[in-house]
């Protein structure tokens, strides 16, 4: 009886050793999986950082020439692509210097964010963009990422390819603005298209807002007061908008109210809130489509973009009253809270990550 028990005990002890061995093997496998997967995530994060940085560097160069920073912004796809490709080489991952990435340039379609980029715009909502994807795979950037533990369990798993997600950065004329940015006057597209199609040295100065703009055609009216999405031309409303800007975010395609016939007191700069400084001030105004109906007629108009205008003063007496000033030159003093993709403008947004 006792001998039988001893035999069974020895048999159970043998089974326990097998179970322990199997458990160690399984735990070692989980440990190896955790270490290797964690390492792959680290490498992927490094690739993603490099892709994001390359896309931003490329987007910065869409309109800006690093070799000629004083030049007026001009859209240049090849310059942007080269800037992104060069920036890829400034990065490394897992101790391996990166050499290349998949770089695309073209207009980014926000309604199809994963769609192909095209250098021909098919919609006003599209913004100039740079897309960067960086991977480590066979023959690319040092090859797949080496596995540490999994290759012990499976000789075929010595490495694994890793790739970043596509990184997309855009830049260009503004297509949207946050609240509190806009001055309550709107500019006509017929005028801004004419002005921004010329070299900066040929831009007219002064420009009178609230009068005909002959160079834009017989029906081109330069601009007018706007109450944005609220239909009101009373003095308290417009003065409040002068002080606080647009109450709501606005974008290309939105409609705003044009308010001709506003009271003459609106042109008295000492009554503005705040009053106009002696040196004038830079403001951002919406550009609207006035092709069908000039801006001296009340009604809603569709926003096509935004531009920066320097107000020098006003003509507040006499029959014709107007705000006068000039469009500021191209620069990087863009307003915050702007998104790219608008029409012709003297304002270029900073590079912005959109994907």
Burial degree of 174 (CB within 10 A; 0-12, 13-18, 19+): buried
Torsion from C-alpha of 228, 229, 233, 239, nearest 10 degrees? -50
Is the pLDDT confidence value at 28 over 60?
Answer: no
| pLDDT tens by residue, 296-354 | 899 999 999 999 999 999 988 877 889 999 998 876 556 667 788 888 888 888 888 99
Q: What percent of the chain has pLDDT over 90?
A: 47
**What pLDDT does 69 receive?**
72
How far from the centroid of its chain's Cα atoms is residue 101's Cα? 21
Report the pLDDT averaged over residues 54-75.
86
| pLDDT tens by residue, 218-242 | 789 999 999 999 998 888 999 999 9
Is the pLDDT confidence value at 66 over 90?
Answer: no
Around Cβ 55, how many Cβ atoms within 10 Å?
30
**What pLDDT does 258 receive?**
94
Around Cβ 29, how many Cβ atoms within 10 Å?
15
Is the pLDDT confidence value at 165 over 90?
Answer: yes
Place of tokens 């940015």: 181
Spatial separation of the C-alpha atoms in residues 185 and 187, rounded to whole Å: 7
Task: Work out the mean pLDDT of the chain and round it to a whole number.
Answer: 85
pTM: 0.75
**What pLDDT does 255 receive?**
96
Report the pLDDT averaged over residues 195-201.
88
First and final C-alpha spacing in the chain: 76
Q: Residue 289: which pLDDT band, with cuts at 50, 70 and 90?
A: very high
Spatial separation of the C-alpha atoms in residues 221 and 201, rounded to whole Å: 23
Residues contacting 346, CB < 8 A, separation 6+: 196, 307, 308, 327, 328, 329, 330
Spatial separation of the C-alpha atoms in residues 301 and 288, rounded to whole Å: 6
Q: Residue 110: which pLDDT band, with cuts at 50, 70 and 90?
A: confident
């Amino acid at each position: 009886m006792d001998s039988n028990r001893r035999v069974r005990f020895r048999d159970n002890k043998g089974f326990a050793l097998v179970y322990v061995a199997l458990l160690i093997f399984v735990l070692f496998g989980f440990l190896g999986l955790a270490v290797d997967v964690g390492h792959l995530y680290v490498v992927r994060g490094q690739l993603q950082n490099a892709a994001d940085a390359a896309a931003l560097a490329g987007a910065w160069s869409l309109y800006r020439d690093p070799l000629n920073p004083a030049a007026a912004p001009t859209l240049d796809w090849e310059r942007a692509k080269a800037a992104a490709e060069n920036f890829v080489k400034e990065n490394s991952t897992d101790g391996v210097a990166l050499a290349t990435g998949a770089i695309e340039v073209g207009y980014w379609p926000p309604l199809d964010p994963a769609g192909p980029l095209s250098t021909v715009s098919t919609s006003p909502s599209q913004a100039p963009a740079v897309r960067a994807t960086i991977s480590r795979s066979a023959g690319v950037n040092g090859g797949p990422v080496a596995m540490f533990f999994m290759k012990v369990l499976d000789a075929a798993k010595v490495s694994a390819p890793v790739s970043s997600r596509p990184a997309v950065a855009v830049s260009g004329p503004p297509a949207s603005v946050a609240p509190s940015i806009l001055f309550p006057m709107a500019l006509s597209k017929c005028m801004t298209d004419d002005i921004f199609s010329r070299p900066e040295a040929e831009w007219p100065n002064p420009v009178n807002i609230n009068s005909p703009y002959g160079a834009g055609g017989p029906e081109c009216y330069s601009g007018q007061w706007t109450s944005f999405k609220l239909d009101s031309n009373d003095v308290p409303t417009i003065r409040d908008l002068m002080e606080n800007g647009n109450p709501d975010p606005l974008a290309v395609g939105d409609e705003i109210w044009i308010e001709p016939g506003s009271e003459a007191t609106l042109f008295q700069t000492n009554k503005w809130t705040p009053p106009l400084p002696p040196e004038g001030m830079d403001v951002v105004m919406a550009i609207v489509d006035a092709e069908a109906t000039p801006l001296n007629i009340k009604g809603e108009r569709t926003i096509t973009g935004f531009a920066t205008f320097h107000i020098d003063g006003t003509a507040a007496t006499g029959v014709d009253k107007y705000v006068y000033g000039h469009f500021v030159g191209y620069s990087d003093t863009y307003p915050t809270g702007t998104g790219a993709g608008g029409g012709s403008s003297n304002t270029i947004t900073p590079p912005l990550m959109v994907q």
